[in-house]
Structure 1
Amino acid sequence: MTATTLTGRTTSTASPGGTPALVVVAHGSRDPRALSTVRALLHRVRALRPALPVHLGHIELNAPLLPDTLAALGDGEAVLVPLLLSRGYHVKRDIPELAAASPARTRVAAPLGPHPLLVDALHDNLLEAGWPLHAPRDAAVVLASAGSRDPESRTDTGRTAALLADRLGVPVVPAYASAAAPTVPEAVRALEARGHRRVAVASYFTAPGRFATECAAAAPWIASAPLGTHAAMARLLLHRYDEALKTGGRGAERRALALP
C-alpha cells in the first residue's frame, strides 16, 4: 500500500511482510527548533531500521497533524508511539481518541518514560554540559520536566529522577515548568538550603522550547541540553514500537506496574 505524504511524495505505509508503520506522535511547538529536532530524531530511527516506514504526526501547533498523518495511511496498520516522557492527558485521551477516529488500524504504545535509556541520554547530556565523572559530595540535580496535573505523570517523572540518582550517586529532585510543584527555582533553593553548593539542571524535555529555555536559565551551576536526537531516544522509540506489537498496544496501562 502507498500513500501521498503532506509534502507530495509517495511513500509506503507498510513495510515488507505487512509490518505496521511507526507513527511518532510529537506534541508540537511554536519553537522552530523543536520541529527540526524531531525530524532529525526520525532520521536516526529510519537509519536504525531502514525497512520500517516511519511517519510523524503532531497533537497540535505543527504540521503534519496526527489526523492528517493517519488519514494518509488509509486503512493500513500503524503503531503510534508518543514522543512524550510520561503518562498524562495526551497519552490517555488525546492520542487514543485521534487513533480511534482514523481509518487506519492502530495500536498506541506507552510513552517513552520512565526507562533506563532515558537515563542514558540524561547522563550523557549532563556530562557534555560539564558534569564531573566523579561527582562531589555537595552536588545535586534538578530534573526539569514540563509538568502535568495528572498524578501518574508526576509518578513517572519521579521514577526517572530515582533512576538518575542511582546512576549519578547524588540527590535528584523532580521539578516542573508548569502545572505541578515544585518549580525548578523552588527545587534549586531547597537543595541549596540542604547544603548542596553545586546544583545542576537536567533538561527532561524531548526538544528545545520555551519551557526548556526557562528551566535552564534557573540553573545556578550547569544545565544540560534537552534529550533531542540522542541515540538512546531513537532506540527507545523502536523499543516502544516493538513492545506495542507484542502487547497489542497495552503498554500504556503496564507503565504503572513495572519497568522497562
Structure 2
Amino acid sequence: MWNPDVYLAFADHRGRPFYDLLSRVRATSPRRVVDLGCGPGNLTATLSDRWPGAVVQAVDSSAEMVEAARGRGLDATLGGLETWTPEPDTDVVVSNAALQWVPSHRELLVRWAAELPSGAWIAVQVPGNFDAPSHAAVRELASSPTWLDRLRDIPFRVGKVVDSAVEYASMLADAGCTVDTWETTYVHELTGEHPVLDWITGTALTPVRDALDDDEWQQFRHELIPLLDERYPARPDGRTFFPFRRIFVVAQVG
C-alpha cells in the first residue's frame, strides 16, 4: 500500500528529475498528455500549466495514489501500466519513477513507440540506484535470521532492474525513434534524525511494510537505523548527503 503523505515528504527532491525530464520534451501543442504512474498527482498537475490546451490524463496502480490525484482535480484512473494502450490522439507519454516496478517495461516502451502517432513523445525517468548502500542495507537485514522467514517472498530488486541510458537509446532507436538519453546522480541534502530511512520508507520499503504487522514494522525500522547511519553518516552540522542515480529517456516517435 502506497502512502501519498510519506511519498510527498521529499516532494522537492523527487520532483526535480520530473522537471529535468520534461525540459527535453519539445512538444508544442499536444492533444493528449498521459502520466503513467502518476503517484499523488502533484507533478501531473503541472502538465496542464505546460500544455493548457491538452487533455491531461493520469494512471496509477495504487488506489491510494489515484484518490490523492483525484483530490487535486485530475482525471486519474486506477490501472496497471502493463495493460495501458494509448488513445489515437496521445502526443505525450510521461512516466516518472514508475517503470522500474514493471519487469516488462522494455517491451512496453517498444510497443508504445509502435502504437503512438508519428511525432509523439515518450519521456521516462527511472531510478538507477538498486545497488546503492541503502538498498544493500535493506537486503542485509531482510536476510538475517530474525526476518528471513517473514520477508523471504519479497523480490528485493538487485542488479539489472533497469537498463543503462545507452541501452535504452539503442532499443528505441531500433524502434524508429529519435532518442535523447542521459544519466544524472543527484546528491540530495537531507536533514532530520533518520533522513535516509524516511526517504526509503516512501519507496523501497513499501513491500516490507505490506509484509509486516505494525509492531514488526517498527522493529524492522529500528534495526535498520544503524545500518543506514553507518553507510550515510550525518555531518557535524546535521546534514546528510544522499546520492541518487537516475536514468532519463526522451524519445520522439518517427
Q: TM-score normalised by the shorter chain: which range applies?
A: 0.3 to 0.5
Q: What is the TM-score when the length of structure 1 is the normalising length?
A: 0.36
Q: Which structure's residues are more often strand, by fraction?
A: 2
Q: What is the TM-score when the length of structure 2 is the normalising length?
A: 0.36
